[in-house]
Amino acid sequence: MQKMIRKTVAPGVRLTIVPTDKFKTSVMSACLLLPLGTAHASDYAVLPRVLRRGTAHYPDMQALGGALDALYGARVEPSVRRRGEALAVGFISDVIDETYAPGGAGLTAQAAALLVSFWKQPFLMGGVFSPDYVAGERENLADRVEALKNDPRSYAVRRLYELMCADEAFGQSELGTVDGARAIRPDALYKVYAQALTGACVELFYCGAMEPAAVENAFAEAWGAREAGDYAMPSTRVLARPAGGPRTVVEEMDVRQGKLSLGFRTGITGADEAYPALMLFNAAFGGSTSSKLFMNVRERLHLCYYASSSIERQKGLLSVSSGIENTSYDAAREEILRQLSGMQQGGLSDDELESARRTVLSGLQSMQDSPAQLENFWLSQSVAGLEWGLDDLSKRIRAATRDEVIATANQVRLDTVYFLKGVAQ
């Protein structure tokens, strides 16, 4: 069974340790947990990339590269991740486990110190961030926001959630807006950084072979002291059903293939007893190549080029994503909803259930084989205030019954249909 240890290393600073000798590489992260959907969205999005440009000890990318090379080619990457209506803003690092590095004693502590230094000892000019670094990264951010439409498949789901949750923080982009990016200035960004650093919950993570006590000491020393205070975790508003009746939004884009996305409310999150059954429902409905949507909407009726479903577990949402010809819109929409209705009425065979179960369990097992995926999983758990691990979830998946899956299907309610209509000639 996979072990997990959580420690508080300073007020509002929590460290999750997953001790394992399974990997030759250790993965670490250091993230601030901030609210999604505020006026500082663009500032939060650009912040880790500006910080990653240099520290007080290593003021530019060349100096940082040398420091990382000295740590056996360690890597540190900026990251902005949405978890429900919280943002995890910070850095992810991997470094060879010192057990496997000749003369590598102290490597973990050095890597942890460098990782934390991006937050605690940034490179400053005149008491604020480097104007050159900020100018470069704000343009990069603006370009990334503009480029979201370049992948119509993912953009359609993103746009679906914007429409579904227009009055909720979840409807706001974790990257902010183009105008917000281009309005970023060094002095204002530094103020946002200082307020976040002193007021946000901090989540640290380590997965590797080092003794947990040594890891705790390394991170506690790296982060240092912090004043006691009310470090509140950002919360997520969960709605069990749409505020009104289902609505349809059609927008056009210069693409050949239309993108049909359907958004559903379930009210079920990872904190609920019904969550394992929801995972099985999703796998059977559209989350695998043996699912209802794949086998019927795509393969049997040829109404789409692809059709799949996925869960947003912190927010209790489920989305269906499909690529269709414009002329197939009505038929594809109705067939997707017909497949859902069939499952709600008990249309789930034992073979389909067991196929879904194998798919989900296989996915959970693959997560246990990747330290990066373990970091991602435990970050989500920490944001949600959950302690159960993948072994516990797998056990609950094995125990979930057909009746529980059908009951979960009946909690799935259509909120929004979004059609990104292709108009390319």
DSSP letters along 123-176, please?
-EETTEE-HHHHHHHHHHHHHHHHHGGGSHHHHHHHHHHHHHTTTSGGGS-TT-
154 pLDDT more than 80: yes
DSSP string computed for 393-423: HHHHHHH--HHHHHHHHTT-EEEEEEEEEE-
> 200 with 231: CB under 8 angstroms?
yes
341 pLDDT more than 70: yes
> 85 with 34: CB under 8 angstroms?
no
Q: Residue 102: its pLDDT value, please?
A: 77
> Residue 309, SS3?
strand
425 pLDDT more than 60: no
> 205 with 190: CB under 8 angstroms?
no
Query: Distance between CA 351 and CA 49 in Å, rounded?
Result: 48
Q: Residue 302: its pLDDT value, please?
A: 96
41 pLDDT more than 70: yes
Residues 6+ apart with CB under 8 A from 242: 265, 413, 414, 415, 416
24 pLDDT more than 80: yes
> Residue 373, SS3?
helix
**How large is the average pLDDT for residues 181-187?**
98
Q: Please state, rounded to an integer, the average pLDDT across all residues of the chain.
A: 95
Q: Residue 1: its pLDDT value, please?
A: 67
Residue with tokens 């670490």, as numbered in its chain: 28
Query: Distance between CA 21 and CA 7 in Å, rounded?
Result: 20
pLDDT in tens, 80-115: 999 999 999 999 999 998 888 777 788 999 999 999
Q: Residue 326: its pLDDT value, please?
A: 95
Least confident range of 99-108, 120-129, 271-280, 347-356: 99-108
Question: Could you give the angle at the alpha carbon of 189 between the alpha carbons of 187 and 194, nearest 5°?
Answer: 95
In which band, very low, low, confident or very high, does the pLDDT at 150 lie, cut at 50, 70 and 90? very high
> 95 with 74: CB under 8 angstroms?
yes
pLDDT in tens, 388-404: 999 999 999 999 999 99
147 pLDDT more than 60: yes
> Residue 248, SS3?
strand
Q: How far is CA 134 from CA 58, 65, 76, 291, in A?
A: 17, 20, 19, 46
Q: Residue 255: its pLDDT value, please?
A: 87
In which band, very low, low, confident or very high, does the pLDDT at 269 lie, cut at 50, 70 and 90? very high
Q: Residue 414: its pLDDT value, please?
A: 98
Query: Distance between CA 309 and CA 56 in Å, rounded?
Result: 46
Q: Quick count: other Cβ atoms within 10 Å of Cβ 89?
A: 24
pLDDT-above-70 percentage for the chain: 99
Q: Residue 99: its pLDDT value, please?
A: 80
Residues 6+ apart with CB under 8 A from 19: 3, 5, 208, 209, 210, 211, 212
- Burial string for 12-49 (b: 16+ CB within 10 Å, else e) reads bbbbbbbbbeebebbbbbbbbbbbbbeebbbbbbbbbb
355 pLDDT more than 90: yes
> 67 with 58: CB under 8 angstroms?
yes
pLDDT-above-90 percentage for the chain: 93
Q: How far is CA 123 from CA 42, 50, 98, 128, 252, in A?
A: 20, 9, 28, 8, 44
Question: Could you give the angle at the alpha carbon of 243 between the alpha carbons of 270 and 382, nearest 5°?
Answer: 20
424 pLDDT more than 70: no
pLDDT in tens, 207-258: 999 999 999 999 999 999 999 988 989 999 999 999 888 999 999 999 889 9
Phi, psi of 105 (to 5 degrees): -55, 130
